Chains A and B, each alone.
Chain A
Amino acid sequence: MTTYIIRRILMTIPILIGISIISFGIMQFAPGEPTALDLDPQISPEDREEQLDAMGLNDPIPVQYVRWAGNILQGELGTSFITNRDVGSMIWERMPNTLVLMISSTIMTMVIAIPIGIISAMRQYSVRDYIFTFGSFVGVSIPNFWLGLMLIMFLSVQFGWFPVGGVSTLGGDFEILDRLHHLFLPALVLATADMAQMTRYTRTSMLEVKNQDYIRTARAKGFKERRVIYKHGLRNALMPLITMFGLLLPTFIGGSVIVEQIFTWPGIGQLFIDSTFQRDYPVIMALTMFGAGLVVIGNLIADILYAIADPRIEY
């Protein structure tokens, strides 16, 4: 097991290098550059050219890549072209907001979706099953941004039950209730689509397990139904869900882009959007690599969880 993990970690190195070269290249080929966006007739073309020089953007792309990679290896993420601040601290200060949002929506998803999925599967083709199935299709089909805007419009603007956006009340001290109040709508919107999907996966997975011999055996032994389902059934049904959970991890940075935008939630997704439109290369690269790192780690964690969930798996 240990050797397997070490081997997996070592394998990530060439993967990450490959990703960095490809994303650096794609980014450079994308039209536009950071200075072009200050569209102001009063700024002379010479000044613009000089700014590009100062940013090192007039060097050949391989030179730029090597310089960037060298900095990364020394732990230097660089300075943002647009905000002139350290990229590391820009990401670091937004990370907690994104993590809070993602973790709470994941918990919301799990707590609601897994039981619904199980109930659906256990009572297949019952009215309840049809309602849940219908509900999850609705959930999958509702676009995030639309649901978000509607919730803001009704619950925040019309009824004033929830704040329109932000992580906390301006100028207030840290208060857990205030934070939860701000967190609820964005987390709910984010959870909706995942919830629906997760319900479907759980249901399918449970259905498959339900008719297995060992379930019948467990029943025959006279175990209580609840024990049969949760101890024997769910444990096996969870296997594919673990893969899905591993794949969820990278969405920590990408999945929340729209929701963060709508709810003015100052997190990683918002930073990603802003820096892309502003061609803020150091920030884009840092976030891309961060995302790549999460994909790799997510998969690794999923593999390790397999071993824990199913002792028969050996590496």
Chain B
Amino acid sequence: MRKKEYVLFLAMVLTLGLLAACNGADEDADTDAGEDAAVDEENGDEGEEDGEAAGEPQEGGEIIVGMQGDPNDLHSAYAADTQSTDVTRMIHAAVTTHNADMEMAPELAVDMPEVSDDGLTYTIELHDDVYFHDGEQLTADDVVFTYEVFMDEDYTGPRTTPFERVESVEATGEHEVTIELSEPDASLESSALTYEIMPEHILGDVPADEQEEHEFSTSEAVVGAGPFSLEEWDYGTSLTLEAHEDYHLDGPYLDAVTLRIAEDANALLAMLQAGEVDHANIRPQDVETANAIDDVNVVAEDGYNYNYIGWNHDRPPFDDPDVRRAMTMAIDREAIIDGVLQGHAEIAHFPHHPMSWAYSDDVDEIPFDPDGAIELLEEAGFEQNDEGQMEYEGEPFSFELLTNQESHARVDWVVVVQEMLAEIGIDVQTDTMEFGAYLDRIQTPNYDFDAIAGAWSLAIYPDPEPLFHSDQYEQGQNNIKYESDAFDELAQDNRSIVDEDERAEAIQEAYGQVAEDQAYTFMYYPDVHQAHREEIQNFQMSPLSEFFKIEEWWLEE
């Protein structure tokens, strides 16, 4: 009968097991070689050099870009997750946008808006040669229409705060928009004005609360004024985008970009290895593997976010700044970066990013000093008993460090922290939870945690209020219950400060206060890595977008 086939099949199953065993060893051997390559790549910052060295951009060509998961909504007023905002940025254009240095720059506007001396009137002059994908011209009316969606009382999207101080938006010319504010708002240019402009001639008659579910927002029916137009959206598989020839700024040079959906990071990496995608975001632990692929460059950049340990100030002894400082001193962050993140991160001492104007060097860098930590704890009322345990109020001190299971790096380093604190006699239990359950436990109204390991993505406007102001405890994001009058006073209403220098000073001092008080133990700024085929020229990267300035990328013949 078909005896032979069965035996063959069986043989296959058995050999697979053997092969797999061999592979484990191979992979280890590869790692060392790969690591050196990774270091070179980063020092050389090759992505940028390529573009400059190769000269004039060439038109044409197509690339396939890997993306983790479908976007959810392509309407700028409703897009909130990364995939959605990344794709929205390719399809639509906004009045202002950010550049690679995290500074604001005009896109639809000819220049940055003109602001009146009292900070209440913004005048925006738009380019007069902007066209939507369907050929209609983009005018001041489209801008007014879009912003009014956010301000509509039926609007239920997540973005009302950026517009809360906008009194009126008016078209004061075919290509001129005037915005009146009720109070000065320094964040306007980097928040409200960065939401992409939607076409009034298509959505004008759709009520604000129906736009989210409109086919415009959820299918290839979308029309924008951005560098690419969406031709096909095969849900769960791919999105096909074509160049918008009339785009008013440089590019796009590529004829088409296909976004290929992969369900997880492993699948994405395999696609990159098999040459099925030309570009992908990769995790720090995959850098070596990606570097080992022929013709693939890995580019690293500081992520615009930081990891932290948040201490619950509502639970003694974490209400004592000295205890929190001692915890920081007992944790060897350098070792965690080297051991867990393979060096792909930088120690954080401050609640915002070094690239931002909110950053201040004038901050006390807490060194790794376990002995100092013990001393500090003893001053704060701890006592070391005969077995080396730290006792607080007569009991051996112990607390729970909680994190979410989706972040592999954090899941790994909480255990390292556990060991480091055990060194100074503090017992830590670690726990990981699924993200939704984790949030439920740490947010209002539960606040049921001793300490959490988490991360914050940062916004361009570095408002310190949402995370640390004492008003933000009951309902907001200050779930650690940080309370500092000095901070509250400094941070209070920083958006209203019209003078730039004065504002920067207030915010830097406010953040400085948070660092001084060690509201969190700031862990590190992780690098983000992208891998792309060598043929892609003028590759650019920004921590806020996966396909940054993709309209300016081009392919070498």
A163 B274 Cβ-Cβ under 8 A: yes
A156 B270 Cβ-Cβ under 8 A: yes
User: Which of B171-179, B408-416, B433-441, B526-534 interfaces with chain A?
Assistant: B433-441
B158 A261 Cβ-Cβ under 8 A: no
A37 B237 Cβ-Cβ under 8 A: no
- Min distance, Cβ A244 to any Cβ of chain B, angstroms: 21
Q: In this assembly, does A82 line the interface, its C-beta being within 8 Å of a C-beta of chain B?
A: yes
Q: In this assembly, does A288 line the interface, its C-beta being within 8 Å of a C-beta of chain B?
A: no
Q: In this assembly, does A270 line the interface, its C-beta being within 8 Å of a C-beta of chain B?
A: yes
Taking CB atoms and an 8 Å cut-off, the chain B residues in 192-218 that contact chain A are 209, 212-213, 217-218
Question: Which A residues touch B156, using CB under 8 A?
Answer: 50-51, 53-54
Per the bound structure, the CA–CA distance linking A48 and B237 in Å amounts to 30
A131 B2 Cβ-Cβ under 8 A: no
A47 B439 Cβ-Cβ under 8 A: no
Asked if A84 meets B161 with Cβ closer than 8 Å, knowing A41-B477, A147-B16, the reply is no
Q: In this assembly, does B249 line the interface, its C-beta being within 8 Å of a C-beta of chain A?
A: no
- Min distance, Cβ B491 to any Cβ of chain A, angstroms: 13
Per the bound structure, the CA–CA distance linking A44 and B467 in Å amounts to 11
Per the bound structure, the CA–CA distance linking A264 and B70 in Å amounts to 12
- The answer, among A36, A40, A139, A153, for a CB contact under 8 Å with B457, is A40
- The answer, among A37, A119, A274, for a CB contact under 8 Å with B436, is A37
**Most chain B beta-carbon neighbours within 10 Å: one of A44, A131, A154, A266:** A44
Question: Which B residues touch A167, using CB under 8 A?
Answer: 237
Closest chain A residue to B237 by CB distance? A266
A165 B270 Cβ-Cβ under 8 A: yes
Asked if A84 meets B237 with Cβ closer than 8 Å, knowing A165-B271, A261-B263, A262-B267, the reply is no
B191 A42 Cβ-Cβ under 8 A: yes
Q: In this assembly, does B466 line the interface, its C-beta being within 8 Å of a C-beta of chain A?
A: yes
B64 A170 Cβ-Cβ under 8 A: yes
Closest chain A residue to B437 by CB distance? A31
Taking CB atoms and an 8 Å cut-off, the chain B residues in 10-38 that contact chain A are 10, 13-14, 16-17, 19-20, 23
Per the bound structure, the CA–CA distance linking A31 and B442 in Å amounts to 11
Q: In this assembly, does A164 line the interface, its C-beta being within 8 Å of a C-beta of chain B?
A: yes
Closest chain A residue to B454 by CB distance? A39
How many interface residues does chain A have, given as a range?
A: 35 or more
- The answer, among A32, A38, A47, A82, for a CB contact under 8 Å with B161, is A47
- Min distance, Cβ A284 to any Cβ of chain B, angstroms: 12
- Min distance, Cβ A1 to any Cβ of chain B, angstroms: 37
Q: In this assembly, does B503 line the interface, its C-beta being within 8 Å of a C-beta of chain A?
A: no
A84 B78 Cβ-Cβ under 8 A: yes
B158 A274 Cβ-Cβ under 8 A: no
Per the bound structure, the CA–CA distance linking A51 and B154 in Å amounts to 11
A32 B440 Cβ-Cβ under 8 A: yes
Per the bound structure, the CA–CA distance linking A120 and B418 in Å amounts to 54
Question: Which A residues touch B264, using CB under 8 A?
Answer: 261-262
Question: Which A residues touch B435, using CB under 8 A?
Answer: 32, 37, 277
Question: Which B residues touch A70, using CB under 8 A?
Answer: none
Per the bound structure, the CA–CA distance linking A105 and B197 in Å amounts to 48
Q: In this assembly, does B540 line the interface, its C-beta being within 8 Å of a C-beta of chain A?
A: no
Taking CB atoms and an 8 Å cut-off, the chain A residues in 64-87 that contact chain B are 79, 82-85
Q: In this assembly, does B490 line the interface, its C-beta being within 8 Å of a C-beta of chain A?
A: no
B19 A154 Cβ-Cβ under 8 A: yes
Closest chain B residue to A271 by CB distance? B236
User: Which of B131-139, B254-262, B507-515 interfaces with chain A?
Assistant: B254-262
Question: Which A residues touch B217, using CB under 8 A?
Answer: 84
Question: Which A residues touch B159, using CB under 8 A?
Answer: 42-43, 47
Question: Which B residues touch A147, using CB under 8 A?
Answer: 16
- The answer, among A36, A84, A139, for a CB contact under 8 Å with B440, is A36
Q: In this assembly, does B1 line the interface, its C-beta being within 8 Å of a C-beta of chain A?
A: yes
Question: Which B residues touch A274, using CB under 8 A?
Answer: 69
- Min distance, Cβ B470 to any Cβ of chain A, angstroms: 15
- Min distance, Cβ A170 to any Cβ of chain B, angstroms: 5
Closest chain A residue to B235 by CB distance? A93
B236 A94 Cβ-Cβ under 8 A: yes
Taking CB atoms and an 8 Å cut-off, the chain B residues in 131-171 that contact chain A are 156-162
Question: Which B residues touch A79, using CB under 8 A?
Answer: 213
Per the bound structure, the CA–CA distance linking A284 and B179 in Å amounts to 43
B263 A264 Cβ-Cβ under 8 A: yes
Per the bound structure, the CA–CA distance linking A138 and B191 in Å amounts to 57
Closest chain A residue to B214 by CB distance? A84
Asked if A85 meets B266 with Cβ closer than 8 Å, knowing A115-B2, A266-B236, the reply is no
- Min distance, Cβ B496 to any Cβ of chain A, angstroms: 17
B440 A42 Cβ-Cβ under 8 A: no
Asked if A150 meets B78 with Cβ closer than 8 Å, knowing A32-B437, A171-B258, the reply is no
B439 A39 Cβ-Cβ under 8 A: yes
Q: In this assembly, does A166 line the interface, its C-beta being within 8 Å of a C-beta of chain B?
A: yes
A83 B70 Cβ-Cβ under 8 A: yes
Q: In this assembly, does B459 line the interface, its C-beta being within 8 Å of a C-beta of chain A?
A: yes
**Most chain B beta-carbon neighbours within 10 Å: one of A33, A43, A279:** A43
A36 B436 Cβ-Cβ under 8 A: yes
A279 B212 Cβ-Cβ under 8 A: no
B161 A135 Cβ-Cβ under 8 A: no
Question: Which B residues touch A277, using CB under 8 A?
Answer: 434-436
Q: In this assembly, does A95 line the interface, its C-beta being within 8 Å of a C-beta of chain B?
A: no
Question: Which B residues touch A45, using CB under 8 A?
Answer: 444, 475-477
Q: Mark A136-168, 1 if CB is under 8 A from B, else 0.
A: 001100100011011111101100100111110
- Min distance, Cβ B399 to any Cβ of chain A, angstroms: 21
- The answer, among B209, B274, B439, for a CB contact under 8 Å with A54, is B209
Question: Which A residues touch B78, using CB under 8 A?
Answer: 84
- The answer, among A41, A83, A116, A165, for a CB contact under 8 Å with B456, is A41
Question: Which B residues touch A238, using CB under 8 A?
Answer: none
Q: What would 4 more interface pairs be, CB under 8 Å, given A45-B444, A165-B263?
A: A38-B158, A43-B80, A44-B466, A266-B235
Pull 6 A–B residue pairs with CB atoms less than 8 Å apart, ordered by A.
Answer: A44-B476, A115-B6, A150-B20, A171-B238, A266-B236, A277-B436
Q: Top 8 nearest A-B pairs by Cβ distance?
A: A32-B436, A266-B236, A31-B440, A54-B156, A41-B466, A45-B475, A31-B437, A43-B158
